[in-house]
Chains A and B, each alone.
Chain A
Amino acid sequence: MIRINNFIIPLFSLIIFCLLWELLVWYNNWPNYKMASPSDLWPAFWKFKHLFLIYGWETFWRTVVGLILSVLVGLSFGILMGFSKTIRIGLYPILVGFNAIPKATVVPVIALIFVGMHNMNTIIIVILISFFPICVSISIGLSTLEREYEDILLSLGANKFEIFYKIALPKTLPEFFGALKVSTTLAFIGTNLMEIIEPHGKGLGHLFDSGKISADYPLMFAVLITLAVMGIFLYYIVVYLENIFAGWAIRQ
């Protein structure tokens, strides 16, 4: 029953959302160059279904690769900052400052440094935009580990590494997955920033840009909806992993 509800309830809310959207457009009598309605999207999507498949895949794999790498980067920084107070106070201002810079302004810089390496450019922007939440959550999780947890193992002569992988790391997993959910949605922003701002002719961002140039508003909306669906898909993969690795922290 719970399983069915987990599927039915989100589906139901999605249908209501689309109906309200349709109603809003219909009631205001907006033309589709002002605001496309859900019923305009399917024809637009079907018309360009091959492009959606090719560009969608490009966006998807670069986002996933970027996300995996940002997990590695975020974990490494987080672990360093969690264990060493010196590194923590040394790195925080830099990381916070870096994160405060609008990533759209970094896109041309990256594109210039790695001219022509489209995949790499995109993946770098994804990493830059999504590693921060992971890094912060891991460093906080590790640095706030209660002393008793360490004492149990330290009093037996355990080394730092054993304490890390037997206690500190598993204990931080729930926070890690919370941050990973934020990072997952951020990652798509990263991919599309690069694809829209720098004309690589790749990815859904490029398709969105083409829609803009040819004033095909239903196409633009269809791209946005595709991105949303991909985001939801990736989010639930993270939820699935969370259930496997940190299921103990989820209240039934």
Chain B
Amino acid sequence: MHINIEKVSHQYETKQGMLPVLKDLSLSIKRKGFTAIVGPSGCGKSTITRLVSGLIKPTQGSIFISNKKITSPLSTVGMAFQNPVLLEWRNVIKNIILPLEIVSKNMTYNQKRSNALDLLKLVGLEEFENNLPSELSGGMKQRVSLCRSLVHSPEVLILDEPFAALDAFTKEDLWDVMHKLKKERDFTCILITHDLREAVYLADQVIVLSGRPASLQYDVKTNFNEEKKISDLYSSEVSQLLATLRNQIEIAQNKND
């Protein structure tokens, strides 16, 4: 599933009039690719996730998934947010199967459960199957949220800052969980983040958006290693890349002011 965003402009209606957030944004994400989108805050990154998932329509331009224009939500998309938004009245396993209740109505409960359990094992939470979300830590909740976003085997996974609220070590654990999921499952991924190390570590392509209204400012491949390890982040090659990205963010921020 490759994704093409073609000359997309988008604006919101506010009390002060129209607020343009995206302007002539074009980018393409290759099949099974992992693209991180970074940029100054408020530059319209989350708008991109809502556009790609079909929740809103762009004011101008179009978005294609596998050459098919998106006009409404597709059941082949999975989403996870900074807030894990778990349903507190459902236990872990029932939270994870929620998407299947919408897109695979004919599946039996046991099938749904076994799908969910496979993912739960991948993220290392199999013994928490019957716990309520209130009994889990922040990092565990986010793992469950990732499982839920993948349970219906989506072709596109959209992550909107899912690790932003976690402490540094939990975050790095979750990055490795993400690597594992990406290796085991077949999906194209878009990650919105403010963390440049996260972007470089997880994605094979990093895109820097300019300040509002956002357009493409910088696009870089990050395949510095076949199998990325946390220690790679401290190599001179990666430091160089991070410095370049940091610089690009500054340029984007100045445009915002």
Contact = CB atoms under 8 A, between A and B. Distances in A.
A28 to B, nearest CB: 51
Nearest to B77: A155
Nearest to A252: B134
A74 B72 CA distance: 34
Given A155-B79, A158-B102, A162-B102, A148 B74 contact: no
Interface string A154-177: 111110001000110011010000
Contact of B55 (A154, A162, A166): A154
Interface in B6-26: none
B219 to A, nearest CB: 26
Given A166-B98, A248-B89, A248-B132, A155 B81 contact: no
Given A146-B83, A148-B85, A246-B89, A155 B55 contact: yes
Given A166-B101, A248-B134, A157 B74 contact: yes
B53 A155 contact: yes
B73 A156 contact: yes
B73 A170 contact: no
Nearest to B89: A248
Contacts of A166: 87, 98, 101
Contact of A157 (B73, B83, B87, B148): B73
B83 A170 contact: no
B160 to A, nearest CB: 9
Given A154-B55, A166-B101, A248-B134, A171 B73 contact: no
A237 interface: no
Q: Determine the main DSSP class of A at the interface with B.
A: helix
A157 B54 CA distance: 9
Contact of B98 (A148, A152, A154, A246): A152
Contacts, number: 58
Given A157-B72, A170-B87, A152 B79 contact: yes
Contacts of B102: 153, 156-158, 162
A136 B215 CA distance: 44
Nearest to B100: A156
Interface string A127-149: 00000000000000000001011
Given A170-B87, A248-B134, A157 B103 contact: yes
B99 interface: yes
A24 interface: no
B236 to A, nearest CB: 39
Nearest to A173: B89
30 contacts: A148-B81, A148-B83, A148-B85, A149-B85, A151-B55, A151-B79, A152-B79, A152-B85, A152-B98, A152-B99, A154-B73, A155-B53, A155-B73, A156-B75, A156-B77, A156-B102, A156-B103, A156-B152, A157-B73, A157-B75, A157-B102, A158-B102, A166-B87, A166-B98, A170-B89, A171-B87, A171-B88, A171-B89, A246-B89, A248-B88
Interface of A: 146, 148-149, 151-158, 162, 166-167, 170-171, 173, 246, 248-249
